[in-house]
């Protein structure tokens, strides 16, 4: 295989992986208040759990569950800022 076709193959693979990771990130955003297991998210991406966890970390730059925790905290902070008088123990 020449370097040009190898480079194109790698570019296509990276684009495919990024599309899968974006699909998972969308799923996380729309299901952030529920349980988000590695197995379910790997299935959304179409990877094995082990491979998905490695790919997610490599492409996003943070481990999966740290990403989920950060998204949850950002959502909570936004809700608190928008409703400063609302008790923090109340449900959304």
In this predicted model, what pLDDT tens digit does every residue of 34-46 receive, in sequence order? Answer: 999 999 999 999 9
Instruction: Give the integer Cα–Cα distance in Å for 25 and 5.
Output: 30
User: What are the tokens at 26?
Assistant: 């969308």
Q: Residue ranges per domain, the chain?
A: 3-82
In order, the DSSP letters of 1-62 are --HHHHHHHHHHHHHHHHHHHHHHHHHHHHTTTS---HHHHHHHHTS-HHHHHHHHHHHHSS
CATH code given to domain 3-82: 1.10.10.60
pLDDT bucket at 3, cuts 50 / 70 / 90: confident
- The residues, any chain, with a CB within 8 Å of residue 55's CB and separated by 6 or more, are 17, 20, 21, 45, 47
Task: List, for residues 15-72, the tens digit of each pLDDT value.
Answer: 999 999 999 999 999 999 999 999 999 999 999 999 999 999 999 999 999 999 999 9
């Amino acid at each position: 295989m020449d370097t040009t076709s190898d480079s194109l193959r790698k570019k296509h693979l990276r684009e495919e992986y990024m599309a899968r990771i974006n699909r998972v990130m969308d799923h996380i955003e729309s299901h952030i208040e529920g349980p988000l297991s590695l197995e379910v998210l790997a299935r959304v991406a179409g990877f094995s759990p082990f491979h998905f966890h490695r790919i997610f970390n490599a492409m996003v730059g943070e481990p999966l569950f740290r990403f989920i925790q950060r998204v949850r905290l950002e959502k909570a902070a936004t809700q608190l800022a928008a409703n400063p008088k609302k008790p923090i123990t109340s449900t959304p």
